[in-house]
Amino acid sequence: MPAPVTIEFNDRVVRQFILATVLWGVVGMLVGVLVATQLNFWQANFATSWLTFGRLRPLHTNAVIFAFVGNMMFAGVYYSTQRLVKARLASDFLSQLHFWGWQAIIVAAAITLPLGLTRGKEYAELIWPLNVAVAFIWVVFAVNFFWTLARRREPSLYVAIWFYIATIVTVAMLYIVNHLSLPTSLTHSYPLFGGVQDALVQWWYGHNAVAFFLTTPILGIMYYFLPKAAGRPVYSYRLSVVHFWSLVFVYIWAGPHHLLNTALPDWLQTLGMTFSLMLWAPSWGGMLNGLLTLRGAWHLLRTDPVLKFMAAAVTFYGMATFEGPLLSIKSVNALGHYTDWIIGHVHGGALGWNGFMAAGMIYWLLPRLWDRPLHSVALANLHFWLGTVGILLYLGAMWASGITQGLMLGATTEGGTVLAYPNFLDTLNTIRPLMLMRVIGGTLYLAGFLLLAYNLWRTLRGARPVDGTVEVMAEPAAPDAAGRLGLLATFLNPPVLFSVLGTGFACAWMFGGDAVSVLGIGGLLLSTALALAHWQSRGRAWAGWYDRLLVNSAPFTVLTFIAVAVGGLVQMIPLAVAHKAANVEDRRQVPYTPLELAGRDLYVREGCYTCHSQMIRTLVPDVLRYGDYSRLGESIYDHPFQWGSRRTGPDLARVGGKYPHVWHLRHMEDPRAISAGSNMPAYPWLLVNDTDVAALPGRLAVQRTLGVPYPEQSPAEVLAQVDRQARAIADDLRAAGATVEPGREIIALIAYLQRLGRSEEVGAARPAQ
Amino acid sequence: MTPLPPEKSEEDRIRPHVYDGIQEFDKRLPNWWLYTLYLTIVFWVGYWAYFEWFRAGPTSAQEVGAELARIEAARLAVAQVDDPTLWQMSRNPAITAAGRAVYDANCAACHLASLRGKAESPVAIGPDLTDNVWVYGGRPVEVHALITKGVLAKGMPTWGPVLGPRKISEVTAFLLSRHREGDPIVLQPPSTP
């Protein structure tokens, strides 16, 4: 028997991540309050391009997701993993590289986004060199984590570790696929996918960033810190097993619910809606295991701010994961989509679930990492109440605002033939008070978080950092030969076989021809029945196999990856292999002229998509307000797609030709000169800056590589074409009494806006399925 | 009295493994939770079968197409307007007040609140609506038709689908209230910049 030794955990990196969490949390929330203020008071855009809503909103979302929750996740994962597997983090160097690399990326993002350097896809705005850096640092994280697992002295993996594994492999997959792009310069690129494909990939990523960046790692953190803080056993191990696997499998399929009632093919919308509903119970499994673990410890909530925060966080998680499936029902979505309801929904998760879990975890960790009691429990309690009231004000305001605006936008009169509120601004100005209430709620929440920062500072001041230790055997536990799962045993066992059969038959039923689909539904029902029967009689064998799987981290990781990969593949492959030009319904987009493309790049740079959609849904009020509903083919050459997710302003899919050039000029210069009561920022610099025409030949070449049918043109020909179109627009403006040089950015933007909605009719081609 | 059966000991037993002091029960899954899961799975099978397998329900395009056809029919049924009616409406203060509201919300941006457009300010986008010079015809039905259809090339939006026939009649009546029946109509063909 080897002698026991004491190992010291690497808690230094945990402390670093905690401090970064608080710093970036304050920054991210501060920017959030600023952008919310801008929606009420356009003056808060400060008449400088760096601080307009369109550029700061991406900064807010990226800061909160990747900087605040990212750092919090790394702190929680590193702290709990070392203890759960009884091993120090594998490499101090990789830990430091991870920490400093991640902070460098955040700083770079905070500089590039206000400069207007963006990819124009939500939560995926960072430019391509930063994408490479994120992927690299994520791999560093993965190596450090799995290397630590390999050196573990605790053979069996606890449920928190399952969630961490799912997080690491899935975020890597999502991030890499959604960031595939072709660079045109060091700071600019076009995404590989365009139009509907880009939309599908984006929301596969966007939805599952919520799932695997904001949910699964935090569930893992909950499974460690909540029973620790409550001193109670976890409620149900088997619920952990069932909800973990159902959650990671089902989540991936639900992405298309962000694109309901759009030009996305119906079958994908159906998948998005039905799988979102199936996600309800798996999500609530996590909530149940959290809340029911507190049974017998509820009295502690009165005194312990840690448990207060965590119990509220899990409750908000349950609320948001009920609201999500509800909003995924097509008819509910018709009302809520593009409105503040969605903003409220996401903040229920971000402020309630993520923010409160972060607070609970930090209050729990501070005394343990710095060897000193928390400076003030009373301040922590005050933080809790400020935060809770802030969230409730925020969510209440957004529900009322979203439903009000949704109802007004959809209201018709005269027997349903005419819009009741034809002027979009009427609907915006109705929700102004609610948008103001949101600012107040957000400010209260930020004030609470500042109390945490103060409490942390007072606790740390003069305190001594302390690293945790554990006593273990000198040698890592030798893998038990009997417990090791080979390739065969990983796959050839009842749970995996029945899952593969069920999924295969289900896909055959959904996507097969007549005979295959009948076979598929029969097989699905039969394999489900067989699986139930087998589980009833041989349940112990299933459990025994799973116990063995838990001591085999590599097979566990492989199976997790397969479970999360299926949904994306089934949805993306049919759209990717379908020939683009044939997959257009009855309209095909006319490629932009070079000047229009330059204008589109400006539209992306200014973040117009944060407030304007380019997608007229298959809904009567949308058609009455904006024109014929958008067809799939009308954006196939859009890299990136700009369908949008929130209509603070009206849809722009068919704005081309609706107003004269001079209308757009005056409107961009001073929106309120044209639309009294508008909250849109002014863009005076567009009238002064020159369009970067020198970059156009290179950008066109990349577009051609991506499959946009541009003719081969010499740079001189491109510039001549740009010049001709720009002069025509400038001439028209002069005739209307406005003098603008043809080389200015506003000319390119007008050229782009005026062609929105132009397409050519093509023979009816059925979208491939 | 028979003794109570032993508690569900299987359930309350703590799993043997302890992770950093954390223990786990192995309680049964709550029935309502299981049935929620099963119900949503059954719903998926039924919904997919109905819409995608048997194609029993309408597609999104068919659904909105049918609705739009109904709206067009309803609009055509009430689309009759003629010159005498519009002149009569222009003398009804309730109608012209409603027309004024429509005008302020939708037309004043280009034609200005005074209706005088370019005649008042050179930077205004729309022409004067108070003089006797008309570009596309000055008879009431012609004005009504122009507002309905718009002139995209000149920057006049197509208001028909947005405002609907009633509001367009009201705003036409409001414009006519600034003119007198029998005023001369000076036609000025559209310029092409």
Q: What are B83-98's pLDDT values in tens digits?
A: 888 888 888 888 888 8
Cβ-contact B42, B28 below 8 angstroms: no
C-beta atoms surrounding A255 within 10 Å = 30
Which of the residue ranges A3-17, A421-435, B122-136 would you say has the lowest mean pLDDT?
A: B122-136
Average pLDDT, integer, range A556-562:
96
Across the interface, whether the CB atoms of A236 and B154 are under 8 A apart is answered no
- Please report where in the chains the tokens 């305001």 appear, as a residue: A397
Cβ-contact B11, B27 below 8 angstroms: yes
Q: What percent of chain A has pLDDT over 90?
A: 90
- Does residue A675 sit at the B interface (CB-CB below 8 Å)? yes
B3 pLDDT higher than 60:
no
Which of the residue ranges A620-634, A652-666, A706-720, B164-178 would you say has the lowest mean pLDDT?
A: B164-178
Instruction: With beta carbons under 8 A apart, name residues in chain A contacting B119.
Output: none
Q: What is the pLDDT of residue B69?
A: 84
Half-sphere exposure of A394 (CA within 13 A, CB side): 27
Tens digits of residue pLDDT in A19-48: 999 999 999 999 999 999 999 999 999 989
A579 pLDDT higher than 90:
no
Give me Rg for the CA atoms of chain A. 27
State the amino acid at position A500 in one-letter form: V
| The token pair that represents A36 in the structure block | 């919310």
3-state class (DSSP) for residue B158 = coil
Which of the residue ranges A344-358, A484-498, A580-594, B43-57 would you say has the lowest mean pLDDT?
A: A580-594
Number of helices followed by number of strands (H, E) in chain B: 9, 2
Q: Give the alpha-carbon dihedral of A449, A455, A459, A465, to 10 degrees.
A: 0
Q: What is the pLDDT of residue B191?
A: 60
Half-sphere exposure of B124 (CA within 13 A, CB side): 20
Q: For chains A and B, what is the number of CB pairs under 8 angstroms?
A: 177
Category of B187 on φ-ψ map: left (φ > 0), alpha (ψ -120 to 50) or beta: beta
- Does residue A84 sit at the B interface (CB-CB below 8 Å)? yes
Please classify residue A453 by burial: count the beta carbons closer than 10 Å to its beta carbon, then call 0-12 exposed, 13-18 middle and 19+ buried.
middle
- How far is C-alpha A490 from the chain's CA centre? 32
DSSP state letter for B1:
-
Task: Give the contacts of B99 (CB within 8 A, at least 6 positions apart).
Answer: B170, B171, B172, B173, B174, B175, B177
Cβ-contact A194, A154 below 8 angstroms: no
Determine the Cα–Cα distance for residues A76 and A70; give it in Å rounded to an integer. Answer: 10
Task: Give the contacts of A343 (CB within 8 A, at least 6 positions apart).
Answer: A398, A402, A646
Which of the residue ranges A142-156, A561-575, A597-611 would you say has the lowest mean pLDDT?
A: A561-575
| The token pair that represents B116 in the structure block | 């005088």
Quote the pTM value: 0.91
Helix-helix angle A553-577:A237-251, to 10 degrees: 30
Determine the Cα–Cα distance for residues A508 and A527; give it in Å rounded to an integer. Answer: 13
Across the interface, whether the CB atoms of B24 and A666 are under 8 A apart is answered no
- Does residue A234 sit at the B interface (CB-CB below 8 Å)? yes
Q: What percent of chain A has pLDDT over 70?
A: 96
Please classify residue A143 by burial: count the beta carbons closer than 10 Å to its beta carbon, then call 0-12 exposed, 13-18 middle and 19+ buried.
middle
Going by C-alpha positions, the residue among A537, A601, A643 that lies closest to residue A117 is A601
Average pLDDT, integer, range A350-376:
97
Q: Of chain A residues 384-423, which have a CB less than 8 A from chain B?
A: 413-419, 422-423
Average pLDDT, integer, range B45-66:
94
Going by C-alpha positions, the residue among A115, A188, A182, A175 that lies closest to residue A139 is A175
C-beta atoms surrounding A636 within 10 Å = 25
Determine the Cα–Cα distance for residues A447 and A633; give it in Å rounded to an integer. Answer: 48
Determine the Cα–Cα distance for residues A308 and A380; give it in Å rounded to an integer. Answer: 10
Tens digits of residue pLDDT in A50-84: 999 999 999 999 999 999 999 999 999 999 999 99
Q: What is the pLDDT of residue A470?
A: 92
Determine the Cα–Cα distance for residues B158 and B113; give it in Å rounded to an integer. Answer: 20
Cβ-contact A637, A708 below 8 angstroms: yes
- Does residue A662 sit at the B interface (CB-CB below 8 Å)? yes
Q: Of chain A residues 288-327, which have a CB less than 8 A from chain B?
A: 288, 292, 325
Tens digits of residue pLDDT in A159-211: 999 999 999 999 999 999 999 999 999 999 999 999 999 999 999 999 998 89
Strands A587-589 and A181-183: unpaired
Q: What is the pLDDT of residue A480?
A: 63
Going by C-alpha positions, the residue among A475, A480, A527 that lies closest to residue A505 is A527
Across the interface, whether the CB atoms of B53 and A509 are under 8 A apart is answered yes
Q: Give the alpha-carbon dihedral of A513, A509, A247, A135, to 10 degrees.
A: -20
Q: Where are the alpha helices (DSSP H) in A179-279?
A: 195-212, 216-230, 237-251, 266-278
- Please report where in the chains the tokens 């050179």 appear, as a residue: B122
Determine the Cα–Cα distance for residues A204 and A707; give it in Å rounded to an integer. Answer: 22
Cβ-contact A80, A148 below 8 angstroms: no
Across the interface, whether the CB atoms of A267 and B123 are under 8 A apart is answered no
Number of helices followed by number of strands (H, E) in chain A: 29, 8
- How far is C-alpha A469 from the chain's CA centre? 37
A481 pLDDT higher than 80:
no
A670 pLDDT higher than 50:
yes
Cβ-contact A112, A29 below 8 angstroms: no
Average pLDDT, integer, range A674-680:
93
For all residues of chain A together, what is the average pLDDT? 94
**A674 to chain B, minimum CA–CA distance in Å?**
5
Q: How far is CA A65 from CA A17, A252, A571, A607, in A?
A: 14, 19, 26, 18
Category of A565 on φ-ψ map: left (φ > 0), alpha (ψ -120 to 50) or beta: alpha
Tens digits of residue pLDDT in A681-701: 999 999 999 999 999 999 999
- Does residue A625 sit at the B interface (CB-CB below 8 Å)? yes
Determine the Cα–Cα distance for residues B147 and A528; give it in Å rounded to an integer. Answer: 62
Q: Where are the alpha helices (DSSP H) in A302-376?
A: 305-327, 330-336, 340-347, 356-370
Q: What is the pLDDT of residue A767?
A: 40
Cis ω for the linkage preceding A640 (within 30 of 0): yes
A661, β-bridge pairs: none
Query: Which one of B8, B11, B14, B25 would you mutate to disrupt binding with A, by most A Cβ within 10 Å of its Cβ?
Result: B25
Category of A116 on φ-ψ map: left (φ > 0), alpha (ψ -120 to 50) or beta: left
Q: What is the ipTM score, two decimals? A: 0.93
Give me Rg for the CA atoms of chain B. 34
Across the interface, whether the CB atoms of B29 and A674 are under 8 A apart is answered no
Across the interface, whether the CB atoms of B24 and A236 are under 8 A apart is answered yes
Q: Work out the pLDDT band at B193, boundaries 50, 70, 90.
A: very low
Q: What is the pLDDT of residue A765?
A: 43
What is the DSSP track for A79-119?
HHHHHHTT---S-HHHHHHHHHHHHHHHHHHHHHTTTT---
| The token pair that represents A5 in the structure block | 């030794």
Q: Work out the pLDDT band at A227, boundaries 50, 70, 90.
A: very high
Domains of chain A: 492-577 (no CATH), 587-761 (1.10.760.10)
**In A436-475, which ranges are E strands?**
469-473
Task: Give the contacts of A653 (CB within 8 A, at least 6 positions apart).
Answer: A613, A614, A615, A616, A626, A627, A630, A634, A756, A757
Cβ-contact A274, B43 below 8 angstroms: yes
Domains of chain B: 12-53 (no CATH), 80-187 (1.10.760.10)
Across the interface, whether the CB atoms of A266 and B47 are under 8 A apart is answered no
Determine the Cα–Cα distance for residues B84 and A493; give it in Å rounded to an integer. Answer: 85
Determine the Cα–Cα distance for residues A692 and A595; give it in Å rounded to an integer. Answer: 10
What are the backbone dihedrals phi and psi of residue A759, each rounded to the nearest 5 degrees, phi first?
Answer: -155, 170
Q: Work out the pLDDT band at A390, boundaries 50, 70, 90.
A: very high
- Please report where in the chains the tokens 């605790």 appear, as a residue: A154
Strands B133-134 and B186-187: parallel
Across the interface, whether the CB atoms of A270 and B154 are under 8 A apart is answered no
Determine the Cα–Cα distance for residues A170 and B38; give it in Å rounded to an integer. Answer: 26
DSSP state letter for A69:
I
Q: How far is CA A481 from CA A156, A477, A543, B57, in A?
A: 14, 12, 19, 57
Tens digits of residue pLDDT in A211-220: 999 999 999 9
Across the interface, whether the CB atoms of B30 and A228 are under 8 A apart is answered no
Between the two ends of chain A, the Cα-to-Cα distance in Å is 63
Q: Where are the alpha helices (DSSP H) in A584-637?
A: 594-605, 620-626
Determine the Cα–Cα distance for residues A577 and A420; give it in Å rounded to an integer. Answer: 43
Across the interface, whether the CB atoms of A417 and B71 are under 8 A apart is answered yes
3-state class (DSSP) for residue A59 = helix
Nearest to A659 among B74, B157, B162 (CB): B157
Across the interface, whether the CB atoms of B20 and A275 are under 8 A apart is answered no
Across the interface, whether the CB atoms of B63 and A224 are under 8 A apart is answered no
Nearest to A417 among B20, B74, B157 (CB): B74
A234, β-bridge pairs: B24
Cβ-contact A732, B193 below 8 angstroms: yes
Instruction: With beta carbons under 8 A apart, name residues in chain B contacting A273.
Output: 47
Cβ-contact A548, A479 below 8 angstroms: no
